[in-house]
A and B are shown apart, each in its own frame.
Chain A
């Protein structure tokens, strides 16, 4: 199985700061990575597909990059509604796997 390692586990930031969340795959997966946001007590929401492709309805401050084994989700100028948990997911091979998540919290 492909293991996805997300770092850091928790990131404390002040609203208005820009942040980068990391997701590292245990083997090369091209750009087969997708990012989700899960707010407390809510269902996950798709943010980015195939490493860098935007999703309709998602604010433009969210962007993704990377290929191979290293991927990044960037949030430009974090807003209060962005404090939640972020997961990456690979679709390179079955079983589909998720990272353990990065919690973005208010400093």
Chain B
């Protein structure tokens, strides 16, 4: 059974940093691209970033480019999202997802809440 378990969320002040982790199990992690998708409170879904199966390629939405870094450790089957210079508009539930051919998301974690507020 595919499982994606996020951790690392919480309350953070504007301008500060936070790192999210996603522990994957139930599939060969190193064979799949992975992504982060977020959802602001009562809002819709928003793609954040994608990383290829081997980490050689990364893609970001413009609003997080230069502030967020997606990475992975295939030996640990873990995905990361380093978030710097956080803004109030980054407040959301962040979902770790498995991505197929960088195109669509076939498995989702339970999500982790990030609140950016002073």
Query: How distant is the Cα of A38 from the Cα of B93 in the complex, in angstroms?
Result: 14
**Chain B residues, Cβ within 8 Å of A91:** 102-104
Identify which of B61, B108, B110 contacts A95 (C-beta below 8 A): B61
Interface size class of A (residues with CB under 8 A): 20 to 34
**Chain A residues, Cβ within 8 Å of B46:** 98
A99 and B108 contact, Cβ closer than 8 Å, known pairs A43-B95, A94-B59: no
B73-109 at interface with A (beta carbon < 8 Å) = 95, 100, 102-109
Contact indicator B44/A43 (Cβ below 8 Å):
no
A45 and B44 contact, Cβ closer than 8 Å, known pairs A94-B59, A95-B61: no
**Chain A residues, Cβ within 8 Å of B111:** 43
Q: Is B27 an interface residue (CB 8 A)?
A: no
Contact indicator A101/B103 (Cβ below 8 Å):
no
A43 and B47 contact, Cβ closer than 8 Å, known pairs A91-B103, A95-B61, A95-B62: no
Contact indicator A44/B95 (Cβ below 8 Å):
yes
**Chain A residues, Cβ within 8 Å of B106:** 46, 49, 55
**Chain A residues, Cβ within 8 Å of B44:** 87, 98-101
Q: Is B11 an interface residue (CB 8 A)?
A: no
Q: Is A24 an interface residue (CB 8 A)?
A: no
State the 7 A-B residue pairs at the shortest beta-carbon distance, nearest first: A91-B103, A43-B108, A96-B47, A34-B104, A98-B45, A95-B61, A100-B44
Chain A interface residues (CB < 8 Å from chain B): 32, 34, 36, 38, 43-46, 49, 55, 87, 89, 91, 94-101
